Amino acid sequence: MSFELELELASGAEGRWTNVPTRRALVCVNGGTAADVPGTWSSSVEWLVRRLAPRFPELGFLEVRYRTKSWRRLELCIEDARSALDAARAAGAVELALLGYSMGGAVAVHVAAEPAVRTVIALAPWLYPQLDLGTLRDRRLAIVHGSMDRGLPGIPGVKPALSLAGYTRARALRIDAVRTVIPLASHAIALRRRSGGLLALPRAARWEELVAEELERFCA
């Protein structure tokens, strides 16, 4: 990468820029677990950023490492995402997109009412039934989900039916929403090796392709 910079966000979470921030930025928020555990960098999001940043050099990518990555502390994750949006604006971005993976899909929807946000890209998103989708009015919602996604003992997952219900609710609100299901894809896009390196899962290239299509639309 030509540029990478870690920073502390106002909430106390960590952020990591890839590409020099310009007038457009993509803020990326991670999934979570039931346990109240410290945040980590998402292997799936990190893999996507490393693949996509060279293709979109005019776009700043800001990943968020939550203070606590638990859906039982969702309010803290939302605060961290808002701090990341503030940081992106402070860096000069005037048009923002959000990429939310798993629980990050719900986090992204919560903060999407920020006036600079244009697009929410929700990957295997946790769009729980009580989630207010009104924050997405006048914005685009692009959902991507793996057909084989589901929670397993000790392994988080989100059933595709949950994002389908969210998509249906969004369309009922006249939100510009699209949804794509990737055949045979599971919840994760990439895993982290013990060495720290990333291992792409078999359908990772399709996830990358669909996110790239949305970024091309956002940057047009």
What pLDDT digit, counting tens, does each position of 39-58 carry? 999 999 999 999 999 999 99
Q: Is residue 155 predicted with pLDDT exceeding 80? A: no
**123-136 average pLDDT score:** 97
Residue 93 sits at the vertex; the CA angle it makes with 90 and 96, to the nearest 5 degrees, is 120
E strand segments, the chain: 4-8, 14-18, 24-29, 60-65, 95-101, 117-123, 140-146, 176-182, 190-192, 198-200
* Sheet hosting strand 60-65, strand order edge to edge: 4-8, 14-18, 60-65, 24-29, 95-101, 117-123, 140-146, 176-182
- What whole-number distance in Å separates Cα of residue 157 and Cα of residue 117? 27
* pTM of the shown model: 0.96
Q: Is residue 217 predicted with pLDDT exceeding 90? A: yes
Q: Is residue 1 predicted with pLDDT exceeding 70? A: no
- What whole-number distance in Å separates Cα of residue 104 and Cα of residue 98? 9
* Segments making up each domain of the chain, as ranges: 4-219
Q: Is residue 130 predicted with pLDDT exceeding 70? A: yes
- Give the range among 97-101, 152-156, 186-190 with minimum mean pLDDT: 152-156
Q: Which CATH architecture has domain 4-219?
A: 3-Layer(aba) Sandwich (3.40)
Predicted pLDDT at 2: 58
